[in-house]
């Protein structure tokens, strides 16, 4: 898949089913500068929680995991304010 950018989302990999909806929410936040969906992997475990999860802080933002069935996709977010991003994420996606 060729790389291209639509708004703040830079697509280098395919997206798991349902991920686009979550990315569109993130894209609307002023604190988010860029969203880069990463690789998709499969888990051998049974189906776990579905949704978007905050994994850890990176040098430029956060690594998130989007889980759907037995598949997991990494999503990297570049943000301008770590604390504000975490607050918005917890208010919006807290499971």
SS3 of residue 92 by DSSP: helix
Query: Distance between CA atoms of 32 and 74, rounded to whole angstroms?
Result: 16
**First CA to last CA distance, the chain:** 32
Q: How many CB atoms lie within 10 A of CB 28?
A: 10
Buried b (16+ CB within 10 A) or exposed e, 30-50: ebbebbbbeebeeeeeeeeee
Position 92 scores a pLDDT of 94
Give the model confidence (pLDDT) of 17-63 as tens digits: 899 999 999 999 999 999 999 989 987 765 667 899 999 999 999 99
Instruction: Compute the residue count for the chain.
Output: 95
Q: 95 with 49: CB under 8 angstroms?
A: yes
């Amino acid at each position: 898949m060729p790389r291209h950018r639509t708004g703040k989302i830079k697509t280098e990999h395919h997206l798991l089913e349902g991920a686009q909806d979550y990315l569109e929410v993130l894209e609307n936040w002023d604190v988010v500068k860029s969203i880069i969906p990463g690789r998709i992997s499969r888990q051998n475990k049974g189906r776990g929680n579905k949704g978007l999860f905050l994994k850890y802080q990176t040098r430029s933002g956060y690594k998130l995991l989007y889980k759907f069935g037995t598949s997991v996709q990494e999503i990297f977010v570049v943000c301008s304010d770590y604390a504000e991003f975490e607050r918005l994420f917890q208010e919006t996606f807290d499971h």
